[in-house]
Structure 1
Amino acid sequence: MRRKLTKYAVPLLFMMMMILLSGCDTSMMVLDPKGPVGADQRDLIVISTVLCLIVLVPVLILTAWIVWRYRDKPNNKAAYMPVWSHNTKAEVIWWAIPIIIIGALAVVTVKYTYALEPSKPLKSDKEPLVIQATSLDWKWLFTYPEQGIATVNYIEIPEDRPIRFQLTSDAPMNSFWIPQLGGQMYTMSGMDMTLNLQADEPGVYFGSGANFSGPQFADMRFEVKATSDADFDQWVNEVKSKGSELTLEGYEKLAEPSSSDRQYFSSFPEGLHEKIVNKYVVGKGHHHGGSEESK
């Protein structure tokens, strides 16, 4: 009975794993990047996976072969060598290859870690667009200090232009993530974190909070729309003309724990982001790669 369970357990577990992974849309988004940061992260994932498979695949194949070749069965003709204990050539091979691969993996990881420093400005001829992102219970507030507008659960950005996100939280810690553009980065109370991203082409991209933060954390999803410069300017003008004003009282109401539909605000209180950052700390808030103006 035990042998039968073992025989079918591995294939069954493998099938269950494939079914679960097939439902992870975000895993496919990560492998379909639409920006330079996402592309570098995809490359790191692929390179690391290939290097690991160089060791993993032969080990799995040899394990399966050994189990099959030397299984217990009547009239087994396999050679039996109870005194065999050492083979220099074999030990050099199975120790040298993993050491080389680990070394290569370390070099690749260090290179991409420095290249993908979140606060490092992206190379571009265009000035970055600043968007201040605040995680709330259970919604996202995005303020555009240069344009003077704000949105809830929606971001619109110009394509092929660096976006400098300034991230903080007025609620439990969360994680800001746009899988096809890059990320994740934590949002924390009293912290002003910087994340530089860019969309290389027009499109609508999925964004979400990637950290459990309460019963309605699944509602912390937002849409990111990349458009041309002209369409972005037109959208800003529409928000200014049609959106409502976000006051301090309105913000306090918005920050109360609840999910929210998409909202647009034609204006917001000056220095709102800085007030949120400094709300829970004595003195100045902590900054990671933030601009001097935000400090």
Structure 2
Amino acid sequence: MTAELSNSRPRSWLLRAAALLPALLISGCNWVVMSPSGDIAVQQRDLVLISTGLMLIIIVPVIALTLFFAYHYRQTNKSAKYEPTWDHSVGLELLIWGVPLLIIIALGALTWTSTHLLDPYRPLGRISAQSGDIGENTPVGQLAGNQQTITGGKPLDVQVVALDWKWLFIYPEYGIATVNELAAPVDRPLRFKMTSSSVMNAFYIPALAGMIYTMPGMETTLHAVINKPGNYEGFSSNYSGAGFSGMRFRFHGVSDAGFDAWVAKVRNGGGGLNRANYMQLEKPSEKVPVRYFGGVESSLFKAIVEQCVKPGKPCMSDMMGKNPHDGMAMPGVNGGSGPQDAGPRPEGGLMKDGDEKGSGKHWSAPADIKRDGANAAPGSPANRNHTMLTPSTMPGSRPVANG
């Protein structure tokens, strides 16, 4: 008897350890996505939960019925009804096809509406679930339902630049900038304008809203709001190189008075940020501490987006608004008023000059043949049709026109 008890104890401990293992694994999870502090993130969480619940309406009964059928129609159960010739039931067909169809319709409607309501470029229609609708000109007042004071309908603009491997935040309204620290008043709409200096990143504050990509030479937008005071984590959720793991920052949700105090601290905490300082800041560095800039060059963010921070480098808007051949401005761009042909033209066969057509043995060159009675020689308007005239060649080789 004693030997049997001693042998059963290790087994009981193993069973207990196996039962505790899932709980230990779950305890290490961060549930901030399921417990957010901003209205946009709350709506996204609700969308996930509703979608999951709708899908479980199918998944749970199917799993339960599979287990039931396997048990009920087992070989040893002689009381189970055996019907080898049964093949159809109208009721079952309606249930099997009707319920999934209704769920797909519900998921489709939910996805379509939420895609538009949670569009990151769409200005906020409300501050929180308890508040009323807001707009750009909403005056200072009381939110409906919870007597919560709002700051106003005008969003707080924040310009975000993803650097290697740190975050730069510019507050154009206040003329300040920070590195790896972000702050905003509670219940005030936020409008993030985001770009990247070199490679693609993803701006993500789980408690605030979903992630938005930042790309060099492009500007993306995110509208959001924080509803609870706190110290939240933000990071890049898109791998961008060696220092990616340390590309994290803190986001502080504070009161209006706390935000004013934070702005004052930033203004007194560092020098100005101009193009020369930015070019030094832009260089790759890892685990960068928080930095403050009490002043910012007004056109810096625009220059970053258009990739013309370096002196003498033309901005993308200037290059796109100029004719690379004669430098004349395109009509309607940069004040240009020249003829339409003076604008920029894309390179390629369809827009070649007359003396360029038919000059090369490449697939877009025309064949110098008679076509519909018209002269297809170089310079003829018929050359604007540069359809390939040779049969397709083997993969990996370049077709050559007959000319």
Report the TM-score range of the alignment, normalised by the length of the smaller protein: 0.7 to 0.9
Aligned to 1:41: 44
- Is the 1:201–1:226 contact (alpha carbons within 8 Å) kept by the matching residues of 2? yes
Number of equivalent positions = 269
Matched letter for residue 239 of structure 2: F
Matched letter for residue 252 of structure 1: M
Which is further off, 254-263 or 128-137?
254-263
Q: What displacement does 1:96 show?
A: 0.3
Aligned to 2:232: 205
Matched, 1:61 2:45: no
Structure 1 92/163 Cα, relative in aligned 2: closer, same or farther at 3 Å? same
Matched letter for residue 109 of structure 1: T
- Is the 2:204–2:211 contact (alpha carbons within 8 Å) kept by the matching residues of 1? yes
- Provide the rounded CA distance (Å) in 2 between the counterparts of 1:188 and 1:21: 35
Matched, 1:51 2:54: yes
Aligned to 1:291: none
Structure 1 188/159 Cα, relative in aligned 2: closer, same or farther at 3 Å? same
Which is further off, 254-263 or 168-177?
254-263
Structure 2: stretches of 5+ with no match in the other structure: 1-19, 126-133, 139-151, 309-314, 321-403
- Provide the rounded CA distance (Å) in 1 between the counterparts of 2:32 and 2:182: 18
Aligned to 1:144: 171
Larger radius of gyration: 2
What is the correspondence of 1:1-295 to structure 2 with a 5 Å cutoff?
Answer: 23-25=28-30, 28-70=31-73, 75=76, 77=78, 78-123=80-125, 124=134, 125=138, 126=152, 127-259=154-286, 260-279=288-307, 282-283=316-317
Q: What displacement does 1:188 show?
A: 0.7
Residues 34-71 of structure 1, C-alpha deviation per residue, up to 9 Å, x if partnerless?
Answer: 22211211221111111111111111111222334445
Residues 152-207 of structure 1, C-alpha deviation per residue, up to 9 Å, x if partnerless?
Answer: 11101111111110011112111111111112111111111111111112111221
- Is the 2:274–2:300 contact (alpha carbons within 8 Å) kept by the matching residues of 1? no
- Provide the rounded CA distance (Å) in 2 between the counterparts of 1:265 and 1:18: 46
RMSD: 2.5
- Provide the rounded CA distance (Å) in 2 between the counterparts of 1:213 and 1:164: 24
- Is the 2:168–2:178 contact (alpha carbons within 8 Å) kept by the matching residues of 1? yes
- Provide the rounded CA distance (Å) in 1 between the counterparts of 2:301 and 2:21: 45
- The structure with more strand, counted as a fraction of residues: 1
Structure 1 84/161 Cα, relative in aligned 2: closer, same or farther at 3 Å? same
SS in 2 for 1:61: helix
- Is the 2:195–2:217 contact (alpha carbons within 8 Å) kept by the matching residues of 1? yes
Aligned to 2:4: none
Structure 1 285/231 Cα, relative in aligned 2: closer, same or farther at 3 Å? farther
- The structure with more helix, counted as a fraction of residues: 1
- Provide the rounded CA distance (Å) in 2 between the counterparts of 1:285 and 1:233: 41
